[in-house]
Chain A
């Protein structure tokens, strides 16, 4: 499989100056030692709960946030290096796009749906000429399931699902190689969610786009992904193909996440206690395994040392002292 994006040892530290006269500096390590790759045409699911750093990771890849350290290689070139000229920056932008969670907030309310897409075309000069642009936008709209009459409507005239389609149209009109999808269906009703997910899969097949699908919903990630990464408090805890991850989840957190995800199967026996106790403890970051206070397989070493990544099986990586 051809690799198209590689992230190596990505870190993001947020520094907050607190205290009187801003003398104290509190560092919050949002993303720690994150490394993964995405292949051409595949969907890599990035799943985790709040505070795990998945959104921050996605935003670093599209250059909305600068990494504190680490590299991001796109087609072999390190794009985290910002000392490039505008032309090459634009070229990279064209190839790595993003779909946002809040379809209403991510559209300028003063622009029509067509104008939102047109802006993308104008920046990169993909298509020029009024007629040609219009035709191109109509074609893209058809791809996402919108009608050409809707090109001149404003965001507030659309439903949530339709607005998300506009966002997708804007992302794919540049013919990018990768799209970072930041919780694209989390804010939608179930019936609409299904439509959008199906549509995204169709588009992927048609244009060969890779997706980094970020979500907190394990069921959705399971459905759409080829491979999956599980994050917790800024660390990648497990990485595997979809089939492997759900057939043989290695990390205790992954297992807990699977158990905690509600199922509509009425015949599944109900547990008598929740899968995970306590809550996230950010003070453990950088000190020991950040999951120590909640893990049901915890042992002494977990409280003393940070675990490192081991490859348990082909392509199946896990960060846990159990698998040293």
Chain B
């Protein structure tokens, strides 16, 4: 999938909030892309734009989302054929995606029976197979249960099973492990990685947790104020962060395997998306800010090693890749 120049704005009474303000990334088959950002960075809105489920008053202002040769934004028919099948999404709170009055079995088999015309028994069997794939030990029993009987981790597994049932090619996980216990989170992360290995499923993993990104993602895009500020392999982003924001973020996190006297903080606060500053959106908080940063917004450039960064520090060291 190729996302080009995506702009999604919220048209509110207070003004236009530029939640996604020119986002470009691409996703290969079998790749796990991590998108990291704090609240207000636009990461959630960006992936909701892919599935065109941005709530009002948000609207996709411009951009192209190319999947299998079709632009999902331009081709009105495409998204209907792709949403829920080729591209599915799991959320932070699976309770709201599952119908509380239907059994798990009913919800899993609904889609299967609809698309494949199987009988109830056959569909149940299929559903059990998918449940086994997400490491659920007694799937037959689970089919008869209701969502509120399940723990958070189980519910997420069921959601992943539903994605498998529709032969998903791209799974978008929006803070899917944020509400889970850390040991369960780890189980889900491993499950996703295993599914990727076996089925070559692509995953876009959204989170605010740098540690999780380090564990799961092949490549990482760091978002801030609606734009990608840094985009490279996860190893590079963690080991050699180029953007001051990424650096600051990594320093602010208490580490499980290192000792810090005092946590580094990022001064100031995130600017309002209704009134973004003239130059770089991080300029009011950056310790390495120059006059140019305040006046002119840097473009995303690709450095020699393929690492992309949006910062005047690297001016002239690479070619511009913003569209």
Chain A residues at the B interface, C-beta cutoff of 8 Å: 49-50, 159, 189-191, 193-195, 197-198, 201, 216-220, 222-224, 256-268, 270, 273-277, 279-280
> Least Cβ distance of A283 to chain B in Å?
14
Report which of A50, A159, A222, A276 forms a contact with B254, defined as CB distance below 8 A: A222
Report which of A191, A193, A256, A264 forms a contact with B238, defined as CB distance below 8 A: A264
Q: Any chain A CB within 8 A of the CB of B255?
A: yes
> Least Cβ distance of A216 to chain B in Å?
7
Q: Are A263 and B265 CB-contacts (below 8 A) given A275-B186, A279-B151?
A: no
Interface residues on chain B, size class? 35 or more
- Residue of A217, A259, A261 with most chain B CB atoms under a 10 A cut-off: A261
Query: How many cross-chain pairs have Cβ atoms below 8 Å apart between A and B?
Result: 119
Chief secondary structure at chain B's binding surface? helix
CA distance A263 to B265 in the complex (A): 19
Chain B, residues 253-281, CB within 8 Å of chain A (1/0): the string is: 11111101011111001000000000000
Of chain A, the residue at the smallest CB distance from B152 is A50
Q: Any chain A CB within 8 A of the CB of B75?
A: no
Chain B residues at the A interface, C-beta cutoff of 8 Å: 38-39, 151-154, 181-187, 189-190, 208-212, 214-215, 234-235, 238-239, 248-250, 252-258, 260, 262-266, 269
Query: Can you pick out 20 interface pairs between chain A and chain B where the beta carbons lie within 8 Å of each other?
Result: A50-B181, A190-B253, A194-B266, A198-B265, A216-B181, A219-B253, A219-B255, A222-B256, A223-B263, A257-B182, A259-B186, A261-B211, A262-B209, A262-B210, A264-B210, A264-B253, A266-B238, A274-B187, A275-B186, A279-B154
Report which of B184, B190, B235, B256 forms a contact with A279, defined as CB distance below 8 A: B184
Report which of B182, B190, B254, B258 forms a contact with A197, defined as CB distance below 8 A: B254
CA distance A233 to B188 in the complex (A): 21
CA distance A286 to B209 in the complex (A): 36
Cβ-defined contact, B256 with A49, below 8 A: no
Q: Are A266 and B263 CB-contacts (below 8 A) given A219-B253, A222-B256, A274-B186?
A: no
- Residue of A193, A259, A263, A280 with most chain B CB atoms under a 10 A cut-off: A263
Cβ-defined contact, B183 with A194, below 8 A: no
Cβ-defined contact, A262 with B212, below 8 A: yes
Of chain B, the residue at the smallest CB distance from A159 is B269
Of chain B, the residue at the smallest CB distance from A161 is B269
Q: Which chain B residues lie closer than 8 Å to A275 at the CB level?
A: 183, 186
Cβ-defined contact, B254 with A220, below 8 A: yes
Cβ-defined contact, A219 with B252, below 8 A: no
CA distance A219 to B153 in the complex (A): 22
Of chain B, the residue at the smallest CB distance from A223 is B254
Q: Are A263 and B257 CB-contacts (below 8 A) given A189-B208, A198-B262, A279-B154?
A: yes
